[in-house]
Structure 1
Amino acid sequence: MTTTPHPLVTRARQLADDLLAPHAETVDQSEVPTGHIAAIKRSGLLGIGAPEAYGGSAAPASVARETAEILSGACCSTWFVQTQHHTPVATLVKGAPPARERLLGPMARGELLSGVAYAHLRAYPRTPVRVVRERGGWRFDGTVPWYTGWGLNDVMLLAGVTDTGEALFAFTEAREQPGLRASPPMRLAALTAARTVSLELDGLWLPEEAVALRAPYERWAAEDRPKTVTASPAVFGVTEAALGLLDDDTAGPLRTRLAEVRHRAYTLADEAAPHEHLDERLALRLRSYEVMRAATTAALVSGGGRSMALNSKAQRLAREAMFLLLQGQTAESRRAHLSALARIPD
């Protein structure tokens, strides 16, 4: 008995097969083109988790995970640009009505693509971005070390910490403006194509109605922690792509390990409360890294000298895997990962 794929899964596969994968090596050496983003916007994938009342699909989490695996395995740079959008959508769903009513519909329908500028909050008690009350709104000062999708996003969700210890999230246009200046695009070992910059904030003023969320930092951090200990579907997607470059004898055992880790990680995601089994979730995240590292290394070895060419798919996947090892990293996950690596037998 077969199950008909969800329409968004079908669209993701079509995008991956017809557009993303055929151009992935070219994109890797240049930048994510606006045509890729236009196709993502038309696909309905940007509203995958948004309420139907706002033009979204309200699809199950399993569908969101599957589409993420498909897109990341086809072109990790394009996946990374569009995946930023889903946190702002989720923030709006639970956030302040003025921002929600103005932005959630256009974002759910794919009319607007949003980036995020909030990972620096995880450095607390350091406050790279400070927010203070000013003229009935909020003033932002500091540095956003990483902002992905510059020149592709329409809006951004910007966060900082107030002098009363609140995490404050507000939307603004993703462009240079008074008080906001972007660095030149960064040259990175992987995903340079995703157009990542740093942002200098010097008195950026946003009105009260731009605010989507205010919460005590400790409460926000507790809600954020599961994200940083949970295995990423993108890790599974890149692993699957690497396994596709191997013969059956080599891929078989790795595919079995992948299936085991993925099954347990997704079972926890579906059946346990977000704050349950955090230690096990982190252990599974680390195991997913091990399988990804083995699969991408095997793809490099299988390709031999050809893997040294910059247009090698195996090399691209290995560099994307390196990026995914660091994405969403916190002090906790870094310590756990280093400890696990230290225990690997000779």
Structure 2
Amino acid sequence: MTAPHPLVAQARRLADDLLAPHAEQVDQGEVPVGHLTEIRRSGLLGLQAPREYGGAAAPGAVFRETTEILAGACCSTWFVQTQHHTPVLTLAKGEGPVRERLLGRLASGELLSGVAYAHLRAFPRVPVRVTRERGGRRFDGKVPWYTGWGLNDVMLLAGVTDAGEALFAFADARDQPGLRASAPMRLAALTAARTVSLELDGLWLPEESVALCAPHDRWAAQDRLKTLNANPAVFGIAEAALGLLDEDTATPLRARLAEVRHQAYALIDEAAPHEHPEERLALRTRAYDVMQAATTAAVVTGGGRTMLLTHRAQRLAREGLFLLVQGQTRESRTAHLGALAR
């Protein structure tokens, strides 16, 4: 048997020794700084970063496996740290002073980054507008969702320019002139991840903080490709739920899960990102179906005790509901609703 990638082994160790044993407690509170300290030390934050900046440049299969492990152990902690990988990849593909200033520090885990860009998917509505001011960029508007407030060091903030460009820039993740956060939201799941909204009223960032500026339609085309595929976190939640079942109940569900996972990952690895969009969306929906079957079976198995907020099956079921809408686009929603109506 081939030894697992070192970062897969690290993820498994963190999951077994730290995340899973405390997941119900975290779910009822907030992601501890100590959890994130261990993730910073583990090397997982540099998983996709280039080697020349201290990262691991790990293949996609390793990223998927670590995602499954961490999400299945403690979805709230996974969700905070998973925000970090988009800023890393944005800098890795870009150039300019912000890359040299931040990429190595993000890859090492010295800095933890969040993201504030999902609102770009509302275009042509523009929740956040970017204009030029004093040799830099001014941000005005509202970011509806920002995860990891009080836990992240920096954020990758996006808005739309008057020229219709999607512009991304790094800012400190703290209250400051022109940026004010709401109180953390109470959510049905993942309240522990400290999600807030951000009010932007003249937040000024220097030009050197800009990481990406591209026509919105070009950015959206690339973003769309990422949201076609099944989310590995869905498989992680499903696996965790299956672990709560007896073997007779788990076996057929485990076979369904393995089949969908194999097909979804084969498409990612073997086909170009723009190929087979309908099949990718169908597999995304089938992954949700298996996850919901597994979490429902875990709730049924646990009986009335699963209505306690501290019960593992109940937490997994709520986390599964969260994943149904996380990263959702109009296209993925339409495909999912169409499948449910059949």
1:96–1:211 Cα contact (<8 Å) kept: no
Q: How many angstroms apart in 2 are the aligned matches of 1:176 and 1:28?
A: 25
Q: How many angstroms apart in 1 are the aligned matches of 2:195 and 2:278?
A: 31
Q: Which residue of 2 aligns with 1:71?
A: 70
Residue-by-residue CA offset, 1:6-43 (whole Å, 9 max, x unaligned) = 00000000000000000000000000000001000000
Q: Which residue of 2 aligns with 1:271?
A: 270
User: Normalising by structure 1, what TM-score?
Assistant: 0.98
CA shift, 1:263, in A, is 0.5
1:185–1:196 Cα contact (<8 Å) kept: yes
Q: Which residue of 1 aligns with 2:55?
A: 56
CA shift, 1:228, in A, is 1.3
Q: Which residue of 2 aligns with 1:220?
A: 219
Q: Which residue of 1 aligns with 2:180?
A: 181
Residue-by-residue CA offset, 1:148-188 (whole Å, 9 max, x unaligned) = 00000000000000000000000010000100000000000
Amino acid across the alignment from 1:14: R
Q: How many angstroms apart in 2 are the aligned matches of 1:204 and 1:304?
A: 51
Q: How many angstroms apart in 1 are the aligned matches of 2:214 and 2:273?
A: 18
Equivalence map 1:1-346=2 (5 Å) = 2-343=1-342
1:157–1:170 Cα contact (<8 Å) kept: yes
**Equivalent residue of 1:197, what SS?**
strand
Q: How many angstroms apart in 1 are the aligned matches of 2:225 and 2:246?
A: 36
**Equivalent residue of 2:145, what SS?**
strand
Q: How many angstroms apart in 1 are the aligned matches of 2:115 and 2:132?
A: 22
Q: How many angstroms apart in 1 are the aligned matches of 2:88 and 2:272?
A: 21
User: 4+ runs of 1 displaced by more than 4 Å?
Assistant: none
Amino acid across the alignment from 1:226: L
Gaps of at least 5 residues in structure 2 are: none
Amino acid across the alignment from 1:201: L
Gaps of at least 5 residues in structure 1 are: none
1:144–1:198 Cα contact (<8 Å) kept: yes
Residue-by-residue CA offset, 1:117-175 (whole Å, 9 max, x unaligned) = 00000000000000011111100000000000000000000000000000000001000
Q: How many angstroms apart in 2 are the aligned matches of 1:101 and 1:204?
A: 23
Q: After alignment, is 270-279 or 154-163 more displaced?
A: 270-279
**Equivalent residue of 2:227, what SS?**
helix
1:185–1:195 Cα contact (<8 Å) kept: yes
**Equivalent residue of 1:146, what SS?**
strand
CA shift, 1:334, in A, is 1.1
**Equivalent residue of 1:140, what SS?**
strand
1:27–1:33 Cα contact (<8 Å) kept: yes
Q: How many angstroms apart in 1 are the aligned matches of 2:335 and 2:279?
A: 12
RMSD after superposition? 0.5
Amino acid across the alignment from 1:169: F
**Equivalent residue of 1:229, what SS?**
coil
CA shift, 1:91, in A, is 0.2
Give percent identity, aligned residues only. Answer: 78
Q: After alignment, is 328-337 or 20-29 more displaced?
A: 328-337
Q: How many angstroms apart in 1 are the aligned matches of 2:17 and 2:245?
A: 22
CA shift, 1:247, in A, is 0.7
**Equivalent residue of 2:114, what SS?**
strand
